[in-house]
Structure 1
């Protein structure tokens, strides 16, 4: 028990970790502290039943939260060791975290914790990364035997853009899909979902060739009107099971925070992998076409004259329970 932090430390770390990205900012996770360990579960009530019937994007979101929690607790001097839930466990239980011996955080852990506060999903057009070598560095820092990071070459980018457009076209007249999308976007006063300030205007959205189609807010563009030149990278796995999705989320977290710490703007995308035909198209663009694409990330440089405000987050009272009472 001497390794276990006090309750206020747990609350503070998980409130920071809750800045993790999630599909439509649904924040589909729940933590339970039993007095010794933390249990991470997916929250089925927050699953996108139309866009994500398998729960894949939900679990990826939980994986991002899990890796954010590793960093947040390490920054609080209380690193954790994660044990993944076995197949026969409760169906929504994903992982159990135990506290290690307290120690000071490393410089990298401090930098990534600071990046948690700075990271945004930037849906606006970007310039290319100002230092191209950063992409190779991200491939190294995101190294995970379960997840591979590959760059989409410029000469095949139009094929990925076409897959993105076709995905949007297939959903355009899907009323249940559009209803679900609008439920989670455009609200001003909720602690979840995507507010209008985080969305691109119609003119800006038209300049981004690979991006999810969201409801378009009114207003004038935030940036100079130039086509998007963000680099595109793909996270892929060898299989397509729940552990692979969770690992994807962890790698997504590491990639986004490392990029943010290096000064890059980022935007994760999973919508292109909702349609099997688009999924196959992305796979053909990878060095190993047998791999299964799980997420696409836009990485680029963004001017500092406009920074999107942080999207809202639920308080820990909504996603953390203490059963040690």
Structure 2
């Protein structure tokens, strides 16, 4: 890589950390190639969940989360990242080329943000509303100030309409065999390096207390967090000015920044993507935000009481399986 002394071990370590990025059904739909011109991020079409994500929009969002996570991981290792998005107009699967230059100083903030990548987890259980939300919202908006992605916080009286959008989505997919087959495939009890393990799913009783959630196969968990009767987490919408592949990549980078900010502030978070997968439910979400924009996904943010038996981290592929050096 030009003008650097970056070694492959440092890069591999940063990629390994960045791959903790959340992705649709934990599919990890990315591929990285390092050569003399930089580190190239590609969408891996073979890992796109085609029945659920026909346009690969959510897969590109997932790659956007990885991209921002990678910048955070490299900064903690002492390297600043410059990004050239979609460098090849004839290959839209080539999402970005990254180049790295040495930083003068690594702050505690850089290290804490990288640590947040490991601490973050998707919390599908019911959460409670954060009492000091207004102050935290200002922090989020400051973090996304330079991003082209819009952030909207839904009012409490809009929660019912979001739940209706979620229910409509489930109803429209009730007889979609391909969708349910994919869902079953990626939630197999034998997940070892990708997919959603049973420990990360919820029981039927727990699912009933979270109105805005995808209907995954239920598990035999006991009823955790019984003190939280119904989910009251704040609902945040991330939207863009369009639905291009570039918009999806932007949304993923913004999602990464939001999730890490939640983790740094001690808040639980859960991306909710199914309500924007179909036009009918996505249009409902669009009417709830006070702007002419395209909803990309929701995020539930709230207080997540500590579990006595916290589930293990969800599996990830070894970096060597998707990172190559040329």
Q: Mark yes or no: TM-score above 0.5.
A: yes
State the SS of the aligned residue for 2:83.
strand
- Separation in structure 2 between the aligned mates of residue 83 and residue 263 of structure 1, nearest angstrom: 33
- Separation in structure 1 between the aligned mates of residue 16 and residue 131 of structure 2, nearest angstrom: 32
Q: Which moved more, 1:7-16 or 1:30-39?
A: 30-39
C-alpha change, 1:25 and 1:305, in structure 2 (3 Å) is same
Residue in 1 aligned with 2:164?
A: 162
Q: Which moved more, 1:144-153 or 1:111-120?
A: 144-153
- Separation in structure 2 between the aligned mates of residue 79 and residue 89 of structure 1, nearest angstrom: 28
Cα deviation, residue 53, structure 1? 0.8
Alignment partner of 1:236 is 2:239 = yes
Cα deviation, residue 36, structure 1? 4.3
C-alpha change, 1:163 and 1:10, in structure 2 (3 Å) is same
Residue in 1 aligned with 2:323?
A: 320
2:258 to 255, 258, 271: 255
Give the root-mean-square deviation of aligned CA atoms: 1.4
Cα deviation, residue 140, structure 1? 1.9
- Separation in structure 1 between the aligned mates of residue 37 and residue 247 of structure 2, nearest angstrom: 27
The answer to whether the Cα contact below 8 Å between 1:237 and 1:293 also exists between their aligned partners in 2 is yes
Residue in 2 aligned with 1:94?
A: 95
Residue in 2 aligned with 1:196?
A: 198
State the SS of the aligned residue for 2:117.
helix
Query: Runs of 4+ in structure 1 displaced over 6 angstroms?
Result: none
* 1:241-275 Cα shifts (integer Å, max 9, x gaps): 00000000000000000110000000001111111
C-alpha change, 1:167 and 1:4, in structure 2 (3 Å) is farther
Residue in 2 aligned with 1:28?
A: 29
Cα deviation, residue 91, structure 1? 2.9
Which runs of no fewer than 5 residues in structure 2 stay unpaired?
A: none
1:300 to 299, 302, 314: 302
1:139 to 133, 141, 145: 141
Cα deviation, residue 80, structure 1? 1.1
The answer to whether the Cα contact below 8 Å between 1:34 and 1:322 also exists between their aligned partners in 2 is yes
What TM-score results when the alignment is normalised by the length of structure 1? 0.96
- Separation in structure 2 between the aligned mates of residue 145 and residue 99 of structure 1, nearest angstrom: 21
